[in-house]
Structure 1
Amino acid sequence: MKTLQKYKNEQMKNPEFAKAYEEIQPEMNVIRAIVDARALRNMTQKELSEKTGIAQTEISKLEKGTRNPSIKLLQRLADGMDMVLKISFVPKERA
């Protein structure tokens, strides 16, 4: 049985797949950051919803990647988790 990592590595050899994968990374990083921050605070989506006034269904959509958050929404999430929102630009890695 092939592992997910092996499958990904094989697919990354396809230029079209690699391009699409790289294009989606910023969104995936935001999703990962939201989920990781909430987990770090041991909060459920419902608890975060109660603290922020953002519907639990909206938080779920953010974490599934079916809704793109505004900076204002990200700030509300950060405040609800007693965290600071930090956005940065970093140089691209050269291969």
Structure 2
Amino acid sequence: MIGITQALAPALAEKGITINAVAPGFIETQMTAAIPLATREVGRRLNSLLQGGQPVDVAETIAYFANPASNAITGNVIRVCGQAMMGA
């Protein structure tokens, strides 16, 4: 998705369209709650904040990209990951 986002940005910009991507890290959801506790703890500790993100963190990032205030941003990837040590 990162490559597609960056590759499409110039062509879409010619049409007045912006394209960006959000790359979530370990997010605390019902799905991740089903992961064994020890594995969840590893996911939480693999970032600078030492905690999992919340779905609202991802949602607010997406909402920003949907807002006209972000119309000068295109071809970018925002990592919502607490500065994860691995991933996107």
On whether the aligned pair clears a TM of 0.5, the verdict is: no
Name the TM-score, length of structure 1 as normaliser. 0.29
Q: Which has the higher contact order (CA 8 A, sep 6+)?
A: 2
Indicate the structure with greater strand content: 2
- Structure 1 or 2: larger helix share? 1
Larger Rg: 1
TM-score by length of 2: 0.31
